[in-house]
Amino acid sequence: MVKPLDGLLVLDFSTLLPGPMATLILAEAGAEVVKIERPDGGDAMRGYTPRWRTDSVNFALLNRGKRSVALDLKDTESRRRLDPLLARADILVEQFRPGVMARLGLGYDVVSKINPRLIYCSITGYGQTGPLADRAGHDLNYMAETGLLALSMGSPAAPVLPPVLAADIAGGAYPAVLNILLALRERDRTGRGMALDIAMTDNLFPFAYWALGNGLAAGQWPENSAELVTGGSPRYRLYPTRDGRMVAAAPLEQAFWERFCDLIDLDAALSDDTKNPTLSSTTAPSGIQ
């Protein structure tokens, strides 16, 4: 079966999660992905647990369907071996701090002269320019910078760590794929590639759209567990059950809320949350069956 990206070549210089997940999506859409790795151990993800026999399960999940080439990018001869790949590549994905690829002789200005049709995608925490561009960071740092941790369940003194790497995936991998596809469409029109600057922190702000809206409208920024979908309403909560489990209940609309209250035999005085929309104590007294 022909896939949408059949015939496209992707050079993947990235490691760990954001870039490899982006190129995995491209590979599953039919692109040929060649992963460029260090000779001294390659992608650090190769050493991660859990393991299946001798391999890292995480590495295998993120890099299946790709080819791998070990090259010392600081070695002139190894660097020359890249030229034929660069000349015919459609997409390049890298995840170094700003300036590293340029110091290796692989910056966009250099590579685009070899291949003007190349789409050059750079994924970083804070973007290629600006006062934070050179700062190191990980997923948790980016989520803290955008204020998302301050909105999570828990108290202001003890916000809850998210169970997923949202910045790496939703702020890095997914926007990278989206913008690569847009750049391919633009290349169809103009015949030229372009450089893409994917800043994971910037890409997290859409997740706080409702908090930004509330803050601008009310003049006060939301706090932990204070809003409709962060634990501030009984209509969007986790409730303990009689058998020691938890049930996720999200009866936001009035009809669903009334049905929910009826099912758990909630007292009528508590079920009318329109007068006090933050009835955090709204639970079935004996637990939900």
Q: How large a percentage of the chain has pLDDT more than 70?
A: 95
Residues, the chain, total?
Answer: 289
Annotated catalytic residue within 12, 43, 90, 168: 168
User: Is residue 216 in some structural domain?
Assistant: no
Helix, strand, or coil (residue 180) = helix
User: Is residue 2 in some structural domain?
Assistant: no
- 176 shares a domain with 264: no
- 253 shares a domain with 141: no
The reply to whether 168 belongs to the active site is: yes
Beta strand spans in the chain (E): 9-12, 32-37, 51-52, 55-56, 67-70, 91-94, 119-124, 154-155, 158-159, 194-199, 237-240, 246-249
Average pLDDT over the chain reads 91
Give the Cα separation of 110 and 113 in Å (integer).
6
Helices 18-28, 174-190: inter-axial angle, 10-degree rounding: 50
User: Is residue 278 in some structural domain?
Assistant: yes
- Could you tell me which residues are beta bridge partners of residue 191? none
First CA to last CA distance, the chain: 49
pLDDT surpassing 90 at residue 19: yes
User: Is residue 227 in some structural domain?
Assistant: no
Which of 24-28, 242-246, 278-282 shows the lowest mean pLDDT across its residues?
278-282
- 163 shares a domain with 117: yes
User: Is residue 221 in some structural domain?
Assistant: no
User: What is the number of domains present in the chain?
Assistant: 2
Q: What is the pTM of this model?
A: 0.90
Q: What is the mean pLDDT of residues 94-116?
A: 98
The CATH number of the domain where 59 resides is what? 3.40.50.10540
Annotated catalytic residue within 83, 138, 265, 273: 138
Give residue 284's domain range: 233-289
pLDDT at residue 281 in the model: 40
pLDDT surpassing 50 at residue 282: no
pLDDT at residue 285 in the model: 36
3-12 pLDDT per residue, tens: 999 999 999 9
Put residue 165 in one of left, alpha, beta given phi > 0 → left and psi -120 to 50 → alpha.
Answer: beta
User: Is residue 213 in some structural domain?
Assistant: no
Residue 199's nearest CA partner among 228, 170, 237, 219 is: 170
pLDDT at residue 284 in the model: 37
27-65 pLDDT per residue, tens: 999 999 999 999 999 999 999 999 998 999 999 999 999
- 178 shares a domain with 54: yes
205-235 pLDDT per residue, tens: 999 998 888 888 988 888 888 888 888 889 9
- 201 shares a domain with 70: yes
pLDDT at residue 141 in the model: 96
User: Is residue 228 in some structural domain?
Assistant: no
Q: Which has more pLDDT, 30 or 280? A: 30
